[in-house]
Amino acid sequence: MANSLTIAIPTHNRAAALAATLESVAAQRLPTDVDAECLVIDNVSTDDTAAVVERIGTSAPIRMRRVLESRLGSSCARNRAFNESRADFIFFIDDDAIAEPDWAAELLAALESRNLDAACGMVLPRWLREPPEWLGPSLWVKLAVHDRSAIEREAPQDAEVLANYFSANMGIRRAAVERFGRFREDLGVVGGNPISGEDTELYARIIAAGGRMGFAPRAIVHHMIPPARMNPVYLLRKSFAYGIGSAITGGRSHNHLDKLVRNLIRMMAAAIRNDRERALYHLVECANYFGYWRGRMMLRQNGAATSRT
């Protein structure tokens, strides 16, 4: 039975990186019975995104089209893709990621063979310059990329965890969107506000409602990591923002005082032995803790403001 597929790429002012992403989508080796399109959700771009889509789409073997989403934000853009697509499956790839030629076929195979509602694939780092020595594999999760060698050393079932599910490489059935809902639009990167966690919240919601979520290690994309992200300040801000997002999401949290104390002790121990990677890792975990409680404070303030109106 033929399947229909939409490969969705939300984008905002990244025309140069988007070109490489589109070229990798155009080079996908899909089964002959898959009816596929590429949908670019232009989230208020002011660069030459439109020209890039038109240029590559003219000669691409897969249909490419661009739609404008005027509401700024990654969740709004992704949800617009759900509105626009009529396909059985919707795959997402970031506008600064490059898919391997069999990426979509492998992700589709994982969804179908395992009867999954949603799946995420492997996201490998493509460093745009040599990373500093302190930026070791334990910190890669903060950049939403995987340590492939570590995953391959594990039993396959051990990779089936929320920490391995990144929206830069995900696929979901349309039926699952209708059953479990969409990305929360009060979460997700919006302009200069990096509050995140919208993808993790959706995956956790699917699992909690009895859905089937899985990891597809053979579906591989390469996420471009620019020098600006190889910076301790970037990692601290990102982790703080993720903490805010986890507070807004609600539910149980590991951000209790014992986490802060534990990470402070481990950070000092790593600093004493001059292990910069682990020292920064535990500092970043502290930033996540403070972000969470900042988010809790924001919720209380919003609740108080609402009660006064």
DSSP state of 228: G
In a domain, 113, yes or no: yes
In a domain, 104, yes or no: yes
User: Model confidence over 137-181: pLDDT tens digits?
Assistant: 999 999 999 999 999 999 989 999 999 999 999 999 999 999 999
Query: Residue 108 belongs to a domain with what CATH number?
Result: 3.90.550.10
CA R_g for the chain: 20
pLDDT at residue 301, rounded to an integer: 84
What is the SS3 string spanning 103-118? HHHHHHHHHHHCCCCE
183/47 same-domain check: yes
Please say if the pLDDT value at position 93 is more than 70: yes
Residue with tokens 């950049």: 143
149/250 same-domain check: no
Residues in the chain: 309
75/174 same-domain check: yes
Any long-range contacts for 280-286 (C-beta under 8 Å, 24+ apart)?
280/134, 280/139, 280/232, 280/235, 281/138, 281/139, 283/232, 283/236, 284/139, 284/142, 284/235, 284/236, 284/239, 285/239, 285/259, 286/260
Confidence of residue 289 (pLDDT cuts 50, 70, 90): very high
Domain's final residue, options 213, 229, 245: 229
188/260 same-domain check: no
52/95 same-domain check: yes
pLDDT at residue 193, rounded to an integer: 57
Strands (E), 144-212: 169-173
pLDDT at residue 192, rounded to an integer: 55
Q: Could you tell me the residue range of the domain that residue 273 belongs to?
A: 234-295
The whole-number average pLDDT for the span 235-253 is: 86
160/205 same-domain check: yes
- Give the torsion through C-alpha atoms of 150, 152, 158, 160, to 10 deg: 100
Alpha helices in 229-275 (DSSP H): 232-249, 257-272
The whole-number average pLDDT for the span 275-281 is: 97
User: Model confidence over 46-89: pLDDT tens digits?
Assistant: 999 999 999 999 999 999 999 999 999 889 999 999 999 999 99
pLDDT at residue 190, rounded to an integer: 67
pLDDT at residue 198, rounded to an integer: 87
61/115 same-domain check: yes
Tell me how many domains the chain contains: 2
Residue with tokens 């995420």: 120
Please say if the pLDDT value at position 283 is more than 70: yes
76/170 same-domain check: yes
Q: What is the pTM of this model?
A: 0.91
Domain's final residue, options 229, 255, 273: 229
214/129 same-domain check: yes
- How far, in Å, are 41, 259, 284 from residue 237 at the CA level? 26, 18, 9
Sheet hosting strand 118-127, strand order edge to edge: 63-68, 34-42, 3-11, 89-93, 169-173, 118-127, 213-225, 97-99
In a domain, 50, yes or no: yes
161/274 same-domain check: no
CB atoms within 10 A of CB 150: 12
145/271 same-domain check: no
